[in-house]
Structure 1
Amino acid sequence: MTEATGTPAVRTEERDAVFVITIDRPEARNAIDGTTARALTAAIDELEARDDLVVGILTGANGVFSAGMDLKAFARGDTPVIKGRGFGGITRTHIKTPVIAAVEGYALGGGTEMALACDMIVAARNATFGQPEVHWGIVPPEGGMVRLPERIPRNIALELLLTGDALPAERAQQLGLVNHLTDPGEALTQALELAHRVAQNAPLAIAAVKRVVNERTAFRDTEALCDQDQYVTPVLDSQDAQEGARAFAEKRPPHWQGR
């Protein structure tokens, strides 16, 4: 094990062949702004560049995975999307190393989308997933609309996407979204145990398994994400999207205009 390193917003730590990436913005419930997205991108690049790292874990500090996009930063014109890499530098990146999401507390909006971009999910029983974007005049363009219907039944995914309702971890496991449930505070411990069970195997075999399994969906996901942009961009550029962000920042109900 090595000493944790990284930026104030993102910490990294090596646990033998496992690379733990921790989002650490407790003042914003680990919401992602531009600075955090760039730090996550750098952490993923380090994971991918090093042959001695076999498995990655993405988690959040202080009992929260991520509240998603920092809407206050978005209202100021800051973006958590890295060109060509997606939300947090993760959601549109083809990561060759297996990555496990260790989820405590909220994983909402882009938080759910980052978890969906991981290969496996370990969640505490108090964890909550959800795509609440419709509440704020936007949509989940970084995998929510593409990956969620592939991971759980389509009709359930549509209900969650159209209502913005939350998905508790126990229900998420019943639907097949979550691999393992843990007691609160134990998601990272369980994810590390799972990661070390993977990491003890032959690196070339691990890489081949991930490549074969993911190539069945990676191209389709990439194509679908690009295709959806023609519908998503007008929504994200709309006056309603700006109104939703302002309403969130001002803690008031939004007033929709449909434009």
Structure 2
Amino acid sequence: MSGAALRIEDRDSFVLATLDRPEKRNAIDLDLIAALHELCATLEAVPRTLVLQGAGANFAAGADIAQLRERRADDARAGINTRAFMRVHALPMPVIAVLDGYALGGGAELAYSADIRVGTHALHIGNPETGLGIIAAAGATWRLRELVGEGLAAEMLLAGRVLTGEEAHAAGLITHLLPNGDDALAVAITIAERIAKLDPAATQASKRVLRAPRNAHPEIDLAEQAVLFDSPEKERRMTAFLNRKQQR
């Protein structure tokens, strides 16, 4: 599956999706939103790890301002970008974002929807929406405080602070800081290949538990573990582990 706005590659152990509007710094338009929904439908039906990157030297410089300027109250209530990013966030298997260059506004919010973020020294990430007369309503206001803490989130959302790659790494917003996009993609691929070696059911259960609200614990953990404890894959993997240990 591929389209003009989003290029999809099947890499066996994961799916690589590239935002492909480099002439617009991969600005997020309606075609890209439609392509994200189509991709999510595929990954919901057949769960795979997703690696997201931007073509060229940027992840996504924001929403397409020309389209955004024409949106009105009903469009805001429809949550055009919001619903797509929530769907990405809710995918069964992990989502890894490779962040290079600009990841601003809607581009940053798409990045926040990932489970793991890998970035570069050239990264600039943040939410300058108030300078355009709107708010960051596609995930930043409720995800960013969990990712970087209340104080830094407030400065990014209320004062338009944009983080460099080094600052994003220090804040824990990205977990790896690399010299360039190729190196960042290589690290993301290594993580995706590591995930592919793990039990998919256990990985999906871990993601559900990780995303659950605090008041759902420990009941949700115990319920998920109960299912896994009776799984043939748990028996197979633990038996193989014990056999390897005996052979040492």
Q: Provide the rounded CA distance (Å) in 2 between the counterparts of 1:218 and 1:124.
A: 36
Q: Specify the alignment match of 1:191 in structure 2.
A: 188
Bigger Cα Rg: 2
TM-score normalized with structure 2 length:
0.79
Q: Specify the alignment match of 1:156 in structure 2.
A: 152
Q: CA deviation at 1:88?
A: 7.2
Q: Provide the rounded CA distance (Å) in 2 between the counterparts of 1:213 and 1:125.
A: 28
Query: More helix per residue: 1 or 2?
Result: 2
Paired amino acid for 2:169: Q
Q: 2:111 aligns with which of 108, 112, 115?
A: 115
Q: Say yes or no: does 1:132 pair with 2:149.
A: no
42 and 172 in structure 1: CA distance in 2 versus 1, 3 angstrom threshold: same
Q: Provide the rounded CA distance (Å) in 2 between the counterparts of 1:81 and 1:36.
A: 17
> Structure 1: which 4+ aligned runs deviate by more than 3 Å?
76-88
Spell out the pairing of 1:68-83 with structure 2 (5 A cutoff).
68-77=62-71, 83=78
Q: CA deviation at 1:45?
A: 1.6
SS across alignment from 2:98: strand
Q: CA deviation at 1:12?
A: 0.5
81 and 23 in structure 1: CA distance in 2 versus 1, 3 angstrom threshold: farther
Paired amino acid for 1:168: T
Q: CA deviation at 1:87?
A: 3.4
Q: Say yes or no: does 1:201 pair with 2:195.
A: no
Q: 1:13 aligns with which of 3, 9, 15?
A: 9
Paired amino acid for 2:54: G
Q: 1:42 aligns with which of 6, 31, 38?
A: 38
SS across alignment from 2:129: helix
Q: CA deviation at 1:153?
A: 2.1
RMSD: 2.4
21 and 218 in structure 1: CA distance in 2 versus 1, 3 angstrom threshold: farther
Q: Aligned residue pairs: how many? A: 213
Q: Specify the alignment match of 1:216 in structure 2.
A: 213
Q: CA deviation at 1:41?
A: 1.1
Q: Specify the alignment match of 2:54 in structure 1.
A: 60
200 and 190 in structure 1: CA distance in 2 versus 1, 3 angstrom threshold: same
Q: Provide the rounded CA distance (Å) in 2 between the counterparts of 1:143 and 1:8.
A: 25
SS across alignment from 1:65: coil
Give yes or no for contact 1:84–1:92 (8 Å, CA) kept in 2: no
Write out per-residue CA displacement over residues 13-40 of structure 1, whole angstroms, 9 at most, x where no aligned residue.
1111201111101121101111111011
30 and 88 in structure 1: CA distance in 2 versus 1, 3 angstrom threshold: farther
168 and 158 in structure 1: CA distance in 2 versus 1, 3 angstrom threshold: same
TM-score normalized with structure 1 length:
0.76
Write out per-residue CA displacement over residues 187-239 of structure 1, whole angstroms, 9 at most, x where no aligned residue.
211111111111111111111111111123799xxxxxxxxxxxxxxxxxxxx
Q: Specify the alignment match of 1:174 in structure 2.
A: 170
Q: Provide the rounded CA distance (Å) in 1 between the counterparts of 2:3 and 2:215.
A: 30
Q: Provide the rounded CA distance (Å) in 2 between the counterparts of 1:127 and 1:12.
A: 23
Q: Provide the rounded CA distance (Å) in 1 between the counterparts of 2:75 and 2:119.
A: 24
* Unpaired segments ≥5 residues, structure 2: 217-248
39 and 33 in structure 1: CA distance in 2 versus 1, 3 angstrom threshold: same
Spell out the pairing of 1:218-257 with structure 2 (5 A cutoff).
none
106-115 or 83-92, which deviates more: 83-92
187 and 63 in structure 1: CA distance in 2 versus 1, 3 angstrom threshold: same
Give yes or no for contact 2:53–2:59 (8 Å, CA) kept in 1: yes
107-116 or 209-218, which deviates more: 209-218
201 and 41 in structure 1: CA distance in 2 versus 1, 3 angstrom threshold: same
Paired amino acid for 1:142: A
Q: Provide the rounded CA distance (Å) in 1 between the counterparts of 2:198 and 2:151.
A: 37
* Unpaired segments ≥5 residues, structure 1: 220-259
- Identity across the alignment (%): 37
88 and 212 in structure 1: CA distance in 2 versus 1, 3 angstrom threshold: closer
Give yes or no for contact 1:87–1:114 (8 Å, CA) kept in 2: no
Give yes or no for contact 2:102–2:123 (8 Å, CA) kept in 1: yes
